[in-house]
Amino acid sequence: MDEKTIRSAVPIVPAVLLIGCILAAFATHGWDMQATLFAEDPAEATKSLMEFGSGAPGGESEFFKFNDVDISGDRVTVKLDVQSPLNMPITVKELSADIPVGDGIGMVSLPAPVTIPAKGSASLNLEGTTPDAGAIPDPHAQKNPAVRNMEMVLNISGIELSIKQPRGVGGVS
């Protein structure tokens, strides 16, 4: 290769490399503009996150499900299944809720932080005491009473999120 050819080729090579790579991007994605611009639909990617946020706490949500309420003596235990749509672990640091027991309202809370694995689920056992055990004639007759006034503190990889169910609004059963 003579010097003149090299001189003229030197400034052209980077442009050829860049244009070649851009053409390769389209060629490897069937010349489809949207597939080349985005690996996956951005709307789909954010959908699960939005559903998780809007469903917690209270309301109809596939991510939060109260499974079982057990009242024995003066102890109330509520089992809550939480499913995480995120690709990273979530730590439930605090969780408390009010639960109607007999004529009174009992409060249940999470005894210790629980970590929900990435894209996984965890069962949270909320524990508390009944307001007045003597006032309940048959505690086991109370099946799945509505849980309300739920408050929780989540830690998502260093981001701390406190969520509070509006007072007196709805309930989760």
Partner 1 sequence: MNRVNIPGAIAGVLTLILPFLGAWWSLTLGTDAIVVTASPFETKTIIFGNYIASPLFEWFCLGLKLGVTYLGALLIAGSILPAMNRNEDLAKVFINFASRKLLWLVLIFVVALVIFVLLLNQASSVLPVKIDIPFPYLVWTRSLSADMVNMGIVIPICAKFTYAFGVAVIAAISGAYSCIYQEKL
User: What single-letter DSSP state applies at residue 119?
Assistant: T
| Residue 166 structure tokens | 């509006």
Residue 1 is a binding residue for partner 1 (CB under 8 A): no
| Residue 24 structure tokens | 């390769």
Contact 154, 124 (CB under 8 A): no
CA 108 – CA 94 distance, rounded (Å) = 11
Residue 5 is a binding residue for partner 1 (CB under 8 A): no
- Which residues fall within 8 angstroms of residue 168, CB to CB, at 6 or more apart? 148, 149
- Stretch near partner 1 under the rule CB under 8 A, chosen from 8-16, 95-103, 106-114, 129-137: 8-16
Residue 111 is a binding residue for partner 1 (CB under 8 A): no
One residue of 30, 134, 137, 158 binding partner 1 per CB under 8 A: 158
Residue 20 is a binding residue for partner 1 (CB under 8 A): yes
Q: Give least dist CB 106 to partner 1, A.
A: 22
CA 73 – CA 114 distance, rounded (Å) = 26
Residue whose C-alpha is closest to residue 161's, from 88, 95, 110: 95
Q: Give least dist CB 13 to partner 1, A.
A: 6
Residue 17 is a binding residue for partner 1 (CB under 8 A): yes
Residues 42-80 as b or e (16 or more Cβ within 10 Å = b)? eeeeeebeeebeeebbbeebebbebeebebeebebebeb
- Stretch near partner 1 under the rule CB under 8 A, chosen from 13-21, 71-79, 97-105, 140-148: 13-21
One residue of 31, 41, 42, 117 binding partner 1 per CB under 8 A: 42
Judged by the rule CB under 8 A, the positions of this chain that interact with partner 1 are: 3, 6-7, 10-11, 13-14, 17-22, 24-26, 28-29, 35-40, 42, 45, 49, 86-88, 118, 156-166
